[in-house]
Structure formats: C-alpha cells, structure tokens
Structure 1
Amino acid sequence: MKRWAPYPFVRIALSFIAGILVYLFTGREFRYSLELFAFFVATYLVLYLVSRRLKSVEANTIAGIAGLLCFVAGGIWLTHLHTEAHHPRHLSNLSGIPAYYVGVVDDYVVQKPGYQNTVLQVEQVQVNGQWQPAEGRVQLSVPHDSNREYEVSYGDRLLIKGAPLPVAPSPNPNQFDYRAFLANKQIHHRHFLQPHQFQKIDSAPPNPVLSFSIYLRRQLDALLKASIDERREYGISSALILGVKDELDNSIRDAYAQTGTMHVLAVSGLHVGLIYGILAFLLAGFKRSAKQRTVYATVILSVLWLYAFITGLSPSVLRAAFMFSLITVAMVSRRQHNIYNTLAIAAFALLWYNPYFLLEVGFQLSFLALLGIVYLQPRFYKLIEFENRVLDKGWALFTASLAAQLATFPLGLYYFHQFPVYFWLANLLVVPAATFVLYSGVAAMFFSWVPLLSTVLFKIHFAITWGMNEFNMLVNLLPQAVINGIDISTSQTWLLYTLLLLFILFFAYKQLRYFALATVVVALLATQEILEINTQQHQRSLVVYNMRNATAFSFLQGQQATVVSHQPLAPQNYIFNIQPYLWHKGVHQADAYTFADAPASHLGHALLPDSNNLYVWQGKRMLVVSKPIQMQPLPDFEIDYLLLTQNVRIKPEELQAFRFKQLVLDASNAPWYLQRLKPQLAAAGIAFYDLTEQGALVVDL
C-alpha cells in the first residue's frame, strides 16, 4: 500500500475505468446501477466511521477498498446515464415509423466527394400524423451539388422527410465495425438525404461558444486555402494546424500512416505540447514572484485555450489543453505535483464528462504515449550522453519517439495491423518539421493583415511543409518501410502489454520472478501463434463480398487466396472491403483476377457461350450470371451457388430450369432492380440471399 500512497488519483481513475469496462462488457444492459452506487457509498460511509473509531490499519484498508468500489460503481452508473439508447424517447424505442422529423445540426460538417457528413440531434418526430418529442443522434449525409461551400451548418434546425434507418452492421467479414464506432458516439441511425428531402427552418446553435469556434476555424481554413496554392501542402497545413482533414490527399495520408508520423496530422496533445513548450521557454523568467507566476499562468492558459478554440474544441485538443492546464496551475501554485496523478485527474475528468471516450482510439493512444514518454523516455535518454547540443537534442527526440512507439506498439498492431519500420527515422525529422510548420502557419495567419510579412511567412510555411512531405514520401519508398497484414486478437494485445509491463518491472526492480513471468507470457503468445497457424493451414472458405456497384468473391485454401472480380478493383475498395478478412485468415497477398482473365490452375473456369462465367473449386460450382441466359443446363448438372449480378435481365421462370442450392443477389445490382426482382422470386417460391441486406456470404468448407 505504501507504494500506492503517492498516487491517490491513479487508484481513483483506474477504479472508475474498471466500472466503465464492467458496464461495457456486460452488454450495456447493467441494471440497478444507481442502486449499486448508493449501496457502496452507504457501505463506505459506515466503514469509514468504524475505521475512525477503531483507528487500525486493517479497518482503514477495508474502508479504502470500499471507497474505490464506490468509484467502480460510479463508473457503471455514469456510463449507463450516457447510454442514450436506453432513454424512453430514443428513436430506437418509438412505437411507429416517423414520416417526418425535426432536429438541430450538432457537429462539424465534413466535406466528402459529392456530399457532406454531419450529425443531427433529433428533437421531434411525426408518427401516425402526430408530432411528439424524441431524442437520438442521426448521422446525415447531405448531397453537395450547389455553389455553396456548406449545404448545412452547425446549429441549423432541419425538417426532414422520411425516417432514419438503424446503422447497418459491417457488410463484410472482419471489416471495420462502423456501427460500433458510431454507437460509441451515441449515434444509432443514419440517413442519406436526397436534394429536396430536407428544409432549413431556422438556426439555433446548441452551444454558442462551439458555434463561434467552428465559424472561426472555417475562416482560418479559407485563409490557408487562399494563401497556399498547392492542394497537397494546403491539405497538410490545414490538418496539422486546424485539424481540418477534408482536403487530405489519399497518397500523402497513406505515406504518413506508413511511416508512423500520422500523429502530426491529427491535432492532439503533440500540437498543444509544442505550443506549451515554446510558451514555457519564452516565459521562463516569469516565475520569481507570485505576481509573475500569475502572469505566467494567465498567458499560457489563455493561449492554450485559444488554440483549442480555433481548432474547433476537438476532444483530443481539449484533453491535452486540460492536462497542460493542470500542470501549469500546479507549477505556479508551488505545490509538489506528480505527473501520474495529473494524467489520472485528466483521464478521470474526461471520462466523467463522457465515459465513452475510453473506447476512442485517440484517447487510448494519447494517454499510453504520454505514459510511455513520462516513464520510459528519461530512462532511455540516460543510456547515452552527448556533449554536442545538436546530437543531444536529436537523441532526446529519438528516445521520446521510441518511448511513445513502444507504449502504443500493441495497440497499433491491434487497430491498424501494420508496423512502420522506419518510424524512428521519420519522426526524427518530421516532428521538428511539424513544429516549424505549426509555428510558421500560426504566425502567417496572425500577421495576415500585414501584406509583405504575410507573404514571406506563408512562403516559409509552404517550403517547410513541402520539404516535410517530400521527406515522408522518400522514407515510404525505402525497402520494407512498413510491415502489413499483422492481425492480433484482443487477448494477444493484453498479453503483449503484460509482457511489456513485466519487462519494465524486471529492469526497475532487478527481480528474476518478473523475467520468469515474462517467459511464461512469451510461451503463451508462441502457443497461440502456433495453434492459429495450424488452424489456418487447414482452412477453406468461399466468400461473396458485399461491395456497392461491384462483384467480387474469393476462394481461400490454407494461407493462399484467389480474388475474382467483374472489373479490376480500386485499391481503396480492396483494402477496405476484402483485405481485413484475408489478413485475419493469414493471407498477406492474394492472387487477383477478373472475369476476362484466365485464373490460376487450381480454379476451374469456363466462359459460357452466353458470356456468363462458371467457376469450379473444391467440388463447388458457382455460376455468375451477368448477361441474359441463352442456354439450358443439362438435366443432371447441379450448381451450388447461382450469383445474379449487374442488373441482369432475367425472369424467375428462367431460373427454374437450373438445379442450384442457393441463389445469391450481389451488391452490383441497383436498389430499383432488387426491389422489383425480389417479390417476383418470392412469388415463384425461389429462396434467395441478398448481400445488400444480409451482408457477405461466407461459406466455410
């Protein structure tokens, strides 16, 4: 207990996090959370009074444990309060389907090709001709086909015809679970609007401060766009300074992701830390008297929160600004502060505000990176001493990058399935360059009213941004720059963090028991990997993927796979829809063919006289119909899967001549086509599998 004594807020934060996790892992249906919280509070009060009377170590310990259980129960209760789907008026609990609904735009408007995304907070719905209060958040996709820069803005109250639909599950196996991602933001419905399906009633921003913040960020973004001619450099500048990623080019985004420097493009703790660092350096002399310390704190807090304001008050910036504010206040008050307690207070306060922050990747990575830098970086830094000041600064930067990467390494593998080999080299130059990009960009915007000075500053800003981009592209071209296809489970992620913790304890306390336990963890990881590889070597599966306006299916045996598609797939389409499943199955690179190609020898293929395609694999026959059927099958010829694609003109009676086990309608068919064909198939008594409604067809052999 003595070792825990200096870290009271760490204990509180961990207990609170445990309560949040208990609620989430019980399926978000934990009942009587308020009663449970009240019970533990009452128990703690009784035990506290008993411990004051007995004045013994054991009684104090029991009372302390009861106090921590109060925070566990508090985490359960508060998470239940923030789970909006349980509220009686939520869209999920309506008695009927709305014909109209009214709501307020309650988030940023994000530009996408041809449309804009935002979130609507529902206020009223019309059900069975009657208006009634309702609540819930709906992700809106608004068509952008006018000359206006934004079709809707934060605070706009909209009248919308129709009903939002529940967010669909992932269309393909192992694909990013967008439904869970939105559910963590309390968004359970989506609506893809048509141009004349909505009408602006008035404007009533729920938060005037956030409204002005978004307006200011738009004005500054417009200034950057007008001052930087090259789209690539403007996109990086806007993302790095303001957190606006609407214009980020996919190639440069991938380059930053694959070199381990994507964090500089997400306005977060790094950027707030850079601003805090330069301010602390410039104001280092203002700490002697109480009045000077007040000025020091006022200037730093004002600038930090002003920066948070102009970046749209994003959660990542708010986290960092709040943490550095705590550090500043503790420093100027001359009170001894512990960085771990400071981090714990920041985490507890943010999770109290919204417990679902715990599930955000940015929240997890930012706190783990900070913990790594706080604990590991000083120890790495002491390993080598440099007398040269430049080398010393470079070594300090390298060790900070190494510490952050090591602390986030397992989580990075779990979420992103890749490891940037040259992260140390990229960060060595990109982080300092990003610092100058940030400083020069802010200075250029601040002096934008001074004609000559503004031009010079923007040219300097452009040159640094261009150099940083070119360096990242060069690093990305190095051999084996990134290791892709790494797929680890949740249990393996926990085991990796357990291994990391055991090694830290071993080097900190020099006790062999920690090394022995680390050996056990390594053995467990190795056993899991051997069992997984053995399973993968004997696997066989057929998958027909759910891809809008496209036909694609794969044949997988062992750790080899063949992907067949109607036309060559766009790289992003393949990466997003197909690659996650193949990586999960241990396939790093699949063979790709189109209908016009001659496939691999292990896959039988015949182009029929009517231009349809027949595939034979592992004794299974798949007939892909993309053209009208102009031939009759042999009487004893049986097909396992008959796939209708590309809005093929066909009548149910034409299919009755075929013997098939399953009829599949893929997502290359248009909605109008499916809406017309499915009633005809049902009337003819032909069962079918609709990929657009049921998701990808996965057959494990």
Structure 2
Amino acid sequence: MKRWAPYPFVRIALSFIAGILVYLHTGKAFRYSLELFAFFVSVYLVLYLVSRRLKSVEGNTLAGIAGLLCFVAGGMWVTHLHTDSHYPNHLGKLSGIPAYYVGVVDDYVVQKPGHQNTVLQVEQVQVNGQWQAAAGKVQLSIPHDSNREYELGYGDRLLIKGTPLPVAPPSNPNQFDYRAFLANKQIHHRHFLQAHQFQKIDSDPSNPVLSFSIYLRRQLDALLKGSIDERREYGISSALILGVKDELDNSIRDAYAQTGTMHVLAVSGLHVGLIYGILAFLLAGLKRTAKQRTVYAAVILGVLWLYAFITGLSPSVLRAAFMFSLITVAMVSKRQHNIYNTLAIAAFALLWYNPYFLLEVGFQLSFLALLGIVYLQPRFYKLLEFDNKLVDKGWALFTASLAAQVATFPLGLYYFHQFPVYFWLANLLVVPAATLVLYSGVAALFFSWVPLLSTVLFKIHFAITWCMNEFNLLVNQLPQAVINGIDISPTQTWLLYTLLMLFILFFAYKELRYFALATGVVAVLATQEILEINAQQNQRSLVVYNMRNATAFSFLQGQQATLVSSQALAPQNYTFNIQPYLWHKGVQQADTYTFTDAPATAIGHTLLPDSNSLYVWQGKRLLVVSKPLKVQPLPDFEVDYLLLTQNVRIKPEALQPFRFKQLVLDASNAPWYLQRLKPQLTEAGIAYYDVAEQGALVVDLPPQARN
C-alpha cells in the first residue's frame, strides 16, 4: 500500500469532508459541534506535547489521529455555521405571519419567458404591524413583460407585500426533490409575485466585486447577442464562454446531455484548463530567471482570475482557478507539487467557504473527473503507442475522456439515469471544437472595438459553434445513442465505486485479494439486481399524478404500465412528473392514452352516458368525473376511487347516491374551485384526498398470488 506521508492535505480534506457528512446525516440536530471541536483540539495539543516528550511512534500516531479528528469536528462546526435555519430570527421560526418584508437581491437574475427568477436575502419582516429583524433566503419569481431585459439587479433592495411560503416537497413519487436542492443553498421559502406586490427601494450590493462581475458579464453577453444572429448558436456561445444559460435551446441542451458532452456548456475546470493551457504554451519561454518566472505567474494568475471574474465567480470556476493558481505558484517557486495535494487544498478551501458545495452535483463530478484524468488517463494512454502525432493527440484526448467517464460513471447513473453510448466519439471532436469556440469567442470579445477584425472573428466563432452543434445532433441520432431508465440506489452507487477502487488496486499491485473482494462486490450487486427484478415483476400500483391543469393516472403491473391522461402530455411534462417513478419501478416506457382512446385490453373502460369514464383494473374501480353526474348507480355498485377533475360542476349531495371508498380531487382543478368545494365536502361529512395539496395518490396493491 502507498504510504500516506506524501499526501497530508488529502488526509485533512477527507477528514473535513467526513465531518460535513456526519453533520448532514445526523439530521442537523447536533448543537455542540463547537464544543466538540474545542475538545479534540485540546486532546490533540495534550497528545502532541506528550509525544514530543516521549518521542514514541505510538504517541505520534495518536496525536495524528487526534489531529484528523479535529478536522472532522471542524467540518461539523463549519457546516453548522453555514446552516441558516439555526438562526433564531429565521423566517421558519417567526411567531406570526409576515404581511410585508424587505430584502436585498443576493444572486444572479435569471431571465425566463415571461418572468425572472432570483434570490432575496431577507432583512426585515412586518408581523402584527411591527417591523423586526429577520434572516433567510426567498426564491422570487417576478413577472417580466417590459422592454427592459432585467427589471432587477444584484443588490436591489425590495419591499414586498405578502408572505413567502415554504418550498413544497416533490409532488409526484421519485420526482426531483427541488426542496432539498434549494435547502442546500439555504433557501427554504418561495414567493411568486405579481407586478403590484413589490417595489424597489434602493440598491445596496453587499459585495461590490460580485456586483461589478455580474454587470460586466451582462455587458459581454449583450455583445454576444448583438453579434450572433442565430439564437441556437448564441445560446451555446453564451453558456460556453460566460456561463449564461438563460436562452439555451432545450433541444440542443438535450443533445449535449445525451452525447455526454454537456460538461462543455458548464463553465468549469475544463474552460479554466483551456485558458491555462494556451497561456502556459505562449509563455513557455518566460521561466529562465526569477524575474521572468514572476512575470509568468503574474500574467497567468491575472488572466485566470479575470476570466473567473467575467464568468460571474461561479463555484466551479473559482475551484479550477484556485487549483491552477496553486500549480502556477508551486511551479515558479520551483517547489515540488503533488497534484493530489493540490486538489485536496482546493477542495478544503472551497468547503471551508461553503460546506454545502459538497452536495452540488457539479462539485462532485468535477473533482471525480479530475481525479480520473490525473490517475487513470496516463495509464490508459500507455496502453497504445502511435508514431503519428495527430493520432497520438487524438488518443490522448480519447483516454482523457475515457478516464473522466470511468471516474464519474456510477455518479452519472445515479443522478441522470442514463449512459451516453457514444461519449467517446462525441468528446473526441466536441472538446477540440469547444476549445476553438472558447478561444475564438474570447478573442472576438477582446477585439470587439476593432470593426473589421471583430466581424471576422465573430463569423469564425459562429461557424465553429454551428459545426459543433450539428455534429452533436448527428451523434445523437445514431442508433442506441443513449441508454435511458437506469435507476440505482445510493448503496449501489457506493458499491460501484468500491468495485472501481478494488479493480484499480488489483491492477496497481497485482494482488489477488483485491480481485476476490471485487468478485464479492459483483456478487452483492448481482443479488440486489435479481431481488429488485423479482420484486418489480410482482408489483402492482395505481397512481393519480399531481399535474397542473391536467389529469393523469397510471396502472402499473410488473414492468408494464398504462398511462391515461385528459390530454396529450408535453414530453417535458411527462419526463419531469411521471417518468422518474416509472423508471424506479423498472418501466422503460408506459403505454399512453387519453380519455377519448380505448386503453389496453387488461383495463376495462366504460364511457358512461354523461360522458364520464369508469375504469376497472385488478378488481379496482376508478370513476373519473369531468362532467356533471347524470347517472344513478345500481344499489350494490361500489367504486374504490371517485376522481373529481376539470372543475366539474357538482354538489356534495350529488355524490350521496354513490358508494366509494375514497374521493380524490386532482390537480386539474383550479385553486378557486377547491377553496369553494372543500368546505362543502367537509360540511357534508365526505372525506377527500387533495392531490394538489398532499401530492400524488399512490396505491400499492399486494403482489398477485401465483397459480
């Protein structure tokens, strides 16, 4: 085994990360992290002094362990400090309901069709007519229908009428947990404003550097938009160079995601690395003397941080700029640097700044990709040798892409449930093309004040961007370009990484014990998969989904499902609300029908004389009422679920003749309708299930007995 001595910062970073994870997974209920940190610091100091006096190996070892425990406790303490919900004046702990509140725009303003999104840092609230100090962040959605591109900006102080509401949990099973996503950013409330509900008081940016960075990025983005006519190419250019994704076309975004090249559109370590690479190449001769090395470092650090500045100082760019800065400083000072220690220092510094970066998908994927490239790429590259320099460069690029994909493979499956089959082909050409897009775009912006030259550079930039987009679309149309519907659990993700590490150890040290352990992990994964498939083959469920302004329900048996909806669902609506649950249940694609279609033969469907529908499946009866009831049920006829939809005009007494086990109000009903109907149902003594308020109704039936 390799000794840990050359990697002190790796040990420190891993201990700090362990502390963050311990805090997050104890439910954030532990309130004595500072005391725990002080205790371990005291223990470390005592053990350190004792070990210095005794000069024993055991004493040094115990002191080292205590030192690492200090960083574990430090990770817990720092995470506690960055958890806003602990503040006594947080929005979630107010004694009353705010009528008004004041806050400052504390994030970028994201432009969407018809509205803008941003984050407000609350300063004061008015409760029971009294103003009081308050803390917390609110995600604002603001209507936007003026000619101005941005109604608001970073640092604007707003007076808002109304009450921010807690972020709702996922409304459908296995849906993306947007509440947890926002909570990791310390945002626990949302407010959808009308134009008359807010007023700008003044502007007071808390961070002038960030304020000017955002302003500069907007100006450069406007320059790109004015110089690139095609919306598709402008969206790619703005996302790739500046990190602005407001107008990124959905179809092209999906194409990049499904070819495994989405990383080129997220301004990150790749882009900083490309800037660093061209600078290191151009300034290679400035390393002979101490003065030249100082100039070399000053130019590289200046350009790297300028690029970070114009891209809005995003965490991914800060991470990469910080890491390459460390490499540059170590290089010019002629000190030996270890890339693993450099990565560990960058991770530690960023997590100290904000421990919740650890939960960001981009943070996890970028560090894993870098580790894969650093360790695996040289080993892959040595497998084949080519005399031709062009082929050799292509092989180096291919092995870098392969190494990054291997390192991020389990996490990619867990988060995105898909695997791009032709990632190797797409990255082979898209990464060099993205490099040219970046260089040409930066050059065009830099020389934008030179009339003829800027026109030529922007045309070159547009041509390369267009070719890159067309190539991605072509790869995406290849047969079996992406494998969808892969659903793995966190445990399986950890097992896959354990398997990867065991294979790496086996090939590195040629010891059979690692291969034997890897075989055991494969056996565990195979057993889990067999048990999961067996359970899925015997599953049965009925789900009424929470779909705004639409009705949708599914009948699932085994690994087959039938989806019935009031109208044809938009692909994005289906993908976001329904597909995650079906994939989790092992269903690749449901058979879809509307109310006017005849569903599968396994489902009984009767269109009643009043145009309502009765569905019979697995002995369960579902009566879907979208028109006023004009039929009378038979005396012994009982319905399991009576579903009221589409603001149907009905009074509770009209339901009295029907025998049903549960009344369901779905999300196709308008809020005003539900506010009027629910008190009437309560007064009539009729219990109901409100899908819009309580989330999707999921009915799991027991497995069907086998003959």
Q: Distance in 2 between matches of 1:24 and 1:490?
A: 15
Offset, 1:48: 0.4
Q: Distance in 1 between matches of 2:77 and 2:612?
A: 59
Q: Distance in 1 between matches of 2:193 and 2:635?
A: 49
Q: Distance in 2 between matches of 1:690 and 1:172?
A: 13
1:182 maps to 2:182: yes
**Structure-2 residue corresponding to 1:695:** 695
**Structure-1 residue corresponding to 2:342:** 342
Q: Distance in 2 between matches of 1:83 and 1:229?
A: 44
Name the % identity: 89
Q: Distance in 2 between matches of 1:167 and 1:2?
A: 47
Task: Map residues 223-622 of structure 1 onto 2, 5 A cutoff.
Answer: 223-622=223-622
Identify the range of structure 1 (653-662 vs 405-414) with the bigger mean alpha-carbon deviation. 653-662
Unmatched 5+ stretches in structure 2: 702-707
Aligned residues: 701
**Structure-2 residue corresponding to 1:213:** 213
Offset, 1:589: 1.1
Offset, 1:187: 0.3
**Counterpart residue identity of residue 589, structure 1:** Q
**Counterpart residue identity of residue 190, structure 2:** R
**Structure-2 residue corresponding to 1:74:** 74
**Structure-2 residue corresponding to 1:32:** 32
**Structure-1 residue corresponding to 2:705:** none
Offset, 1:455: 0.7
**Structure-2 residue corresponding to 1:153:** 153
Offset, 1:631: 1.4
Q: Distance in 2 between matches of 1:348 and 1:424?
A: 32
Offset, 1:683: 1.2
Give a deviation string over 1:197-240, Cα, whole Å, max 9, x none: 10000111111111111111111111111111111001000000
**Counterpart residue identity of residue 48, structure 1:** Y
Q: Distance in 2 between matches of 1:533 and 1:185?
A: 36
Unmatched 5+ stretches in structure 1: none
**Counterpart residue identity of residue 50, structure 1:** V
In the superposition, relative to structure 1, how do residues 389 and 127 fare at CA in structure 2: closer, same or farther (>3 Å)? same
Q: Distance in 1 between matches of 2:696 and 2:666?
A: 9
Q: Distance in 2 between matches of 1:535 and 1:248?
A: 41
Give a deviation string over 1:482-506, Cα, whole Å, max 9, x none: 0000000000000000000000000
**Counterpart residue identity of residue 620, structure 2:** K
**Structure-2 residue corresponding to 1:672:** 672
Give a deviation string over 1:524-559, Cα, whole Å, max 9, x none: 000000000011011000000001111100000000
Task: Map residues 111-122 of structure 1 onto 2, 5 A cutoff.
Answer: 111-122=111-122
Offset, 1:692: 1.1
**Structure-1 residue corresponding to 2:651:** 651
Give a deviation string over 1:365-410, Cα, whole Å, max 9, x none: 0000000000000011111111111001000000000000000000
Q: Distance in 1 between matches of 2:116 and 2:623?
A: 39
1:164 maps to 2:164: yes
Q: Distance in 1 between matches of 2:140 and 2:554?
A: 33
**Counterpart residue identity of residue 24, structure 2:** L
**Counterpart residue identity of residue 487, structure 1:** D
Offset, 1:31: 2.1
**Counterpart residue identity of residue 650, structure 1:** I
Q: Secondary structure at the match of 2:196?
A: coil
Give a deviation string over 1:429-464, Cα, whole Å, max 9, x none: 000000000000111111111111111111100000
Identify the range of structure 1 (1-10 vs 31-40) with the bigger mean alpha-carbon deviation. 1-10
**Counterpart residue identity of residue 18, structure 2:** A
1:10 maps to 2:10: yes
**Counterpart residue identity of residue 415, structure 1:** Y
Q: Distance in 2 between matches of 1:445 and 1:360?
A: 31
Q: Distance in 1 between matches of 2:36 and 2:102?
A: 37
**Counterpart residue identity of residue 17, structure 1:** I
**Structure-2 residue corresponding to 1:43:** 43
Q: Distance in 2 between matches of 1:100 and 1:676?
A: 27
Q: Distance in 2 between matches of 1:540 and 1:414?
A: 24
Q: Distance in 2 between matches of 1:88 and 1:510?
A: 57
TM-score (norm 2): 0.99
Identify the range of structure 1 (190-199 vs 143-152) with the bigger mean alpha-carbon deviation. 143-152
Q: Distance in 2 between matches of 1:389 and 1:696?
A: 58
Q: Secondary structure at the match of 1:96?
A: coil
Q: Distance in 2 between matches of 1:319 and 1:626?
A: 54
**Counterpart residue identity of residue 66, structure 1:** A
Q: Secondary structure at the match of 1:3?
A: coil
Offset, 1:2: 6.9
Offset, 1:125: 0.2
**Structure-2 residue corresponding to 1:222:** 222
Q: Distance in 2 between matches of 1:108 and 1:147?
A: 19
Q: Distance in 2 between matches of 1:425 and 1:595?
A: 44
RMSD of aligned C-alpha atoms? 0.7
Offset, 1:677: 1.1
**Counterpart residue identity of residue 93, structure 1:** K
**Counterpart residue identity of residue 685, structure 2:** G
Q: Secondary structure at the match of 1:531?
A: helix
Q: Secondary structure at the match of 2:562?
A: strand
Q: Distance in 2 between matches of 1:203 and 1:677?
A: 45
**Counterpart residue identity of residue 382, structure 1:** K
Offset, 1:679: 1.1
Q: Secondary structure at the match of 2:195?
A: coil
Q: Distance in 2 between matches of 1:383 and 1:576?
A: 42
Give a deviation string over 1:68-99, Cα, whole Å, max 9, x none: 00000000111111111011010011001100
**Structure-2 residue corresponding to 1:639:** 639
Q: Secondary structure at the match of 1:593?
A: strand
Q: Secondary structure at the match of 1:533?
A: helix
**Structure-2 residue corresponding to 1:201:** 201
Offset, 1:142: 0.4
Q: Distance in 2 between matches of 1:36 and 1:77?
A: 8
Give a deviation string over 1:564-603, Cα, whole Å, max 9, x none: 0000000000000000000000001110000000110001
Q: Distance in 1 between matches of 2:652 and 2:154?
A: 49
